[in-house]
Structures are given as structure tokens and as C-alpha cells.
Amino acid sequence: MPTLEKSTIAYTFAGETGAKDMQAISPSGTDLSAAGRRAVDWAAPRKQVLKGRAAVKFNPELIIKSFNTWAFKREQPGNPERLVPMVEAAARDGRPLEFVLYWGKGPRSAIAAPDLACLDYLGQLAERVRQAYGPGALIRLICTDTHASLNGHPAEAVDAYFGAIDAAARARGFATIRLSDVVAFGREVGVDKAEEEPSGEILASLIACAAKWYRGEGSTEQGALDYHRMNMIEKRAVAAAFPGAVFVTFNGSEFRDLFPATMPIFYMYSLRRGVGVKPWFMDADFASARREEAGSKEAAHREVGAADARPAAQPVA
């Protein structure tokens, strides 16, 4: 079986007959039709190699503390022992610290305020990393077209939504890729087998989720089982494609079995501290209403602060 070699320049397959570029495996990008999607650029974000990086010293613990804070996390990370070696490897190569996360598809086919608020929140995390670590952070969204198809969303709606997410993500310096492309890569390297069966607790949770969002063929129970089987394959493909990354999820650790076993898992809020609902499941005006509310409170606090800072009136002579 070919092995996956990683460098700051590219990911390649290494086999007895020579290397195969990952960019040739499958396409992805803003034009999300099957024939026109842009070629996957797995390597470009890793080309930001610092000059003279050997002389630069970074403290892995401080880099981890920059994002591993209750301002972002909803609970302690999974596989925390993998964080320090991962940060050390990134620092040695002078490359950004990489975070990958699933981005799903809900009832909406258009991008809306909750999506933008979530992207901005991810941008805040990236900025915190950049302040502690010069090369910064690479945020990579894995758009879950496979899940959207299972849930019965029309291909046109999926393309429209993920196309808009792709554009908004890239405008913030993030990278995107389709989950189907990652799965295709996993198939190439032989990690396309679903081996685990769901526990009763996991299956019950997935059935409850399917009752809300599953619109595919068959029963919600079958939809939940199909979803679990897909995740068992997908989590191995993600781990193989991005072995040096942190896997971010807006879910809690009760769904740990659905995430890559070998990657650090960062359990994160979605829009701000205290909010765990995924943005693609929110109504279009959810975040805008909360932003207006927050803005009004902030303005009131500023006014109170300004009043407190004014000098006291002087007595008339």
C-alpha cells in the first residue's frame, strides 16, 4: 500500500514505482459543478516557509494556550498529548498550525449571518495563534457534500451553498475542500473500510439527529446507520490526508467515535462562547439579531463608562 509523505511543499503518494501528486486525485473549489471544480490545492497553504526559521524559537505550550482557552473551547481537547509534538513539528518546518473541520449543509441553500459569524469566530482563533506564532494558523473547511447527499439535499442546492461558503472562507484566508475529495484520497491509500459498529448510545443520538434533518430514502434509523458507516470511512481519510492537523468540531465529546482516532480533537463553540449550535442549522437572522443585541449592550456599557470617566462638576466660586 502506498504511504503518505508530507513536506512543506506538497503531499504525495510514495510507492515503489514513484510518487503520485495528490492534486491529480480529485477536483475541488469555488466552481462546484462536477466538471468545473478547481483542482485541489493541498500544498499551497504549506508553502509559507519562514526564511531563517532555524534561528526562530517558539514555545509550544504558549502556542497551544493561544487557542486552547475557554474563549473558544467547550471542553478539554481529545488526544491532548498529541498537541505538543504537532506544534513542534509545525515550528520546525516553519509552517502554519493547521486546523481542519467539517462544514455541513442544513435547510438553507444561501449563506447567511450565522455562517459569517462562525467564520469570523474562526478568524479570531487564527489571529490568536498568529499573535503567539509567526507563521500563524491555517483554517481548512471540509465541506461535507457526502452528508448533504445522504440527507437528501439536491445537488444544485449543495453546490450553491458550499460555493458561497468557499468564497467567504477564502476571503478570510481559509482553505476549503469537499469531503468527497478527501474520501477519494482515502480510497487511494486504502483507508476506505468501515470497521466499527455504533454503540447504542451513539446510535440513539444519531437517530435523534436524523429525525430532525434526514430527508433521504428509507427510515431515519437506516439513515443514522448509513451516516455512521460513512463517518467511519471519512474519519480515516481525514487522518490520512491531514496527519499534522488539529481536528475541530462543534460537537461535544459524546460523539468522539465519529472523529479521527489519531488526531488532536478541539471541541469548539460555533459562534461565540456558550453557543454550540452549528451555523448551517440556524435561521438566517439568528446571528444578526444576536449581533444587534450585543452591539446595544456594548454601546450602553461604553456610555456608562464614559459617564463614570467624566470629571465631577466644580463648585461655583
Q: Is the pLDDT assigned to residue 49 strictly greater than 80?
A: no
- Using CA atoms, how far apart are residues 42 and 46, in angstroms rounded to an integer? 8
Torsion of CA 150, 140, 246, 256, to 10 degrees: -20
Exposure of 246 by Cβ count < 10 A (0-12 exposed, 13-18 middle, 19+ buried)?
Answer: buried
Domains along the sequence of the chain with CATH: 4-8+10-38+58-291 (3.40.50)
Q: Residue 268 pairs with which residues in a beta bridge? A: 73
Q: Is the pLDDT assigned to residue 232 strictly greater than 70?
A: yes
**Could you tell me whether strands 245-249 and 137-143 are parallel, antiparallel, or unpaired per DSSP bridges?**
unpaired
Residue 276: other Cβ atoms inside 10 A: 13
Q: Which three cell numbers stand for residue 152?
A: 437528501
pLDDT digits (tens, 9 = 90+) for 270-315: 999 999 999 999 998 765 545 544 544 444 444 434 433 333 333 3
Please report the pLDDT score of residue 75 as a whole number.
97
Q: Contact 231/258 with Cβ under 8 angstroms?
A: yes
Q: What percent of the chain has pLDDT over 70?
A: 67
- Using CA atoms, how far apart are residues 52 and 116, in angstroms rounded to an integer? 36
76-85, 106-115, 201-210: least confidently modelled range:
201-210
48/177: higher pLDDT: 177
Cα four-point dihedral sign 147, 150, 153, 154? positive
32-36, 73-77, 87-91, 160-164: least confidently modelled range:
32-36
- Using CA atoms, how far apart are residues 97 and 87, in angstroms rounded to an integer? 7
- Using CA atoms, how far apart are residues 11 and 22, in angstroms rounded to an integer? 6
Pick the closest to residue 143 from 114, 172, 169, 110 (CA basis). 169
Going from the C-alpha of 316 to that of each of 11, 310, 313, the distances in angstroms are: 77, 18, 9
Please report the pLDDT score of residue 224 as a whole number.
75
Instruction: Looking at 142-285, list the stretches that DSSP marks H as alpha helix, in order from N- to C-terminal side.
Output: 145-150, 155-171, 179-188, 200-213, 220-241
For residue 301, the number of C-alpha atoms closer than 13 Å in the C-beta half-sphere is 6
